[in-house]
Chain A
């Protein structure tokens, strides 16, 4: 398998990372090297093997439906790039 430049640009867009043409070319080389390593997996017959998503077979714990955290909105928003009136500010989304 080999990624094209267009595919690299497409993945970068999906990941929301701006990438220049020069960066895309370098990245293409690196990614193809890494995928060459990854492709070793394809030679293995894994039919019937249960995928292992996690190191421990756990079911999610449930907790009581009650408030356990205190309101720390002001503290948490103090580290935000831009806030106003308790809201996070971003460029206008809806005209």
Chain B
């Protein structure tokens, strides 16, 4: 049951072979037993989860269930959920109980009938690539507990990998769904910017942030995206588009598919064993009928520098709301109002968050705006245009998700620049606003390797099809760590 796909769970629930209460209890029990060693969840509330499960069972009995009704899911702690502590991995919100639901939570719980198992650990305010910046301590990778699960959606990744949940939500600003999926052997999808509502998803960099599913297969991701996506008038950047079934093309044959291989993704800077696994996956795609064409993303080497201007700039603005006045942490001792702000923010934010606020404050400050922020936005345009040109020659772009497998806890924590470079292959996708996936494609030194798939705007159904057909032909995505049982 713990390895079952969402479709199999749905069928078992519909056939009354299992109830949602039983299924929810099974995963809550696993969380209780296995979470202490992983630190994947920061909040569980069995009473709340079981109440949702009872409501789901009632819907199933009444014949008004949807395809995901009654299936448990882990929620990244960046999504506000009414009545749940919602921390975003920060001391600033360590005691914040949300008075409202994010649109993603509302759609998943109230509309689709999914059962939330709890809130998963994450890098503080989603700023990190290893989950080590969380106020609640690092998450451990179930493949090797001395290694990181990736970040920032590392708790969600570890939870699904250790089968503490059938699937999870994540968010991706610079790679935060795809990189942990790669490091933990999961399938993760970052949708086109604007597909999934950001209402109630605590903002890091608003022009880049996008929520998406993390699961054990492309098919599971397709079903979850159906529940998560859709226009929301409460998000001014939500796109008003016709509803689509993201699972509609899963079975389409891949004959004639044109895969673009950016030469910049196949040069230096990537671990040789990781590259070998990626190349083997591409060879498998050729067997499935795809053809490869070399493409170029000549400005991709500028994506990390541009990102570390744009994302901190937006973050410094977004995080100015945490001032100790309306919600969240307030320092104990302070003098005047300014002192209260300064002490609250000094004590409430961790080191990485402060660093990014300072970078953002500087690049937006008088006299530096043109040289940094405007220049970064111009480079962002060049990067996006590179993708437009590449997609004239191909249907999907492939390459590694991460330049290495899961690294050791503490290995990069002291050097921010080394940590930032873990996202060299993922960041350009956020800057352009394109959809991207990571799927399991092999192992290097016993640790999972992820293949990144990048699609054109709104091409989620095709990406999921391309991922699904590979998963029909291979079994990498079915592997789980030896210790997980």
Contact = CB atoms under 8 A, between A and B. Distances in A.
B355 interface: yes
A61 interface: yes
Contacts of A93: 336-337
A41 interface: yes
Nearest to B366: A14
A53 B207 contact: yes
B378 A46 contact: yes
A38 B384 CA distance: 18
Contacts of B320: 16
B372 interface: yes
B375 interface: yes
Contacts of A38: 305, 308-309, 372
Contacts of A39: 305
Contacts of B432: 55
Nearest to A61: B236
A58 interface: yes
Given A15-B345, A17-B358, A52 B324 contact: no
A91 B378 contact: no
B365 A11 contact: yes
B465 interface: no
Interface in B299-320: 299, 301-302, 304-306, 308-309, 316, 320
A33 B432 CA distance: 26
Contacts of B431: 52, 55
Contacts of B306: 41
A41 to B, nearest CB: 5
A44 B381 CA distance: 13
B335 to A, nearest CB: 7
B325 A80 contact: yes
Contact of B358 (A15, A18, A60, A90): A15
A44 B302 contact: yes
B27 interface: no
A91 B336 contact: yes
Interface stretch (B39-47, B262-270, B326-334): B326-334
Interface centre among A38, A39, A93 (most CB of B within 10 A): A38
B485 interface: no
Contacts of A30: 355, 416
Contacts of A88: 325-326
Interface string B347-359: 0010000110111
Contacts of B326: 76, 79-80, 88
B476 interface: no
Nearest to A68: B233
Q: Which of B299, B375, B382 has the most CB of A within 10 A?
A: B375
A40 B299 CA distance: 11
Nearest to A55: B433
A12 B430 CA distance: 28
A72 B99 CA distance: 9
A56 B239 contact: yes
A34 to B, nearest CB: 6
A81 B349 contact: no
Contact of B378 (A18, A40, A49, A76): A49
B482 interface: no
B237 A17 contact: no
A72 B82 CA distance: 13
Interface in A1-48: 3, 7-8, 11-19, 27, 30-31, 33-42, 44, 46
A8 to B, nearest CB: 7
B342 interface: yes
A84 interface: no
A66 interface: no
A56 B194 CA distance: 8
Interface of B: 96-97, 99, 193-194, 207-208, 233, 236-237, 239-240, 299, 301-302, 304-306, 308-309, 316, 320, 323-330, 334-343, 345-346, 349, 354-355, 357-359, 361-362, 365, 371-372, 374-382, 384, 415-417, 420, 430-433
Which are the 4 A-B pairs with shortest beta-carbon distances? Answer: A55-B433, A51-B377, A55-B193, A46-B378
14 contacts: A14-B365, A15-B345, A19-B346, A41-B302, A41-B376, A44-B382, A51-B380, A54-B207, A58-B239, A60-B236, A81-B324, A82-B330, A91-B335, A91-B336
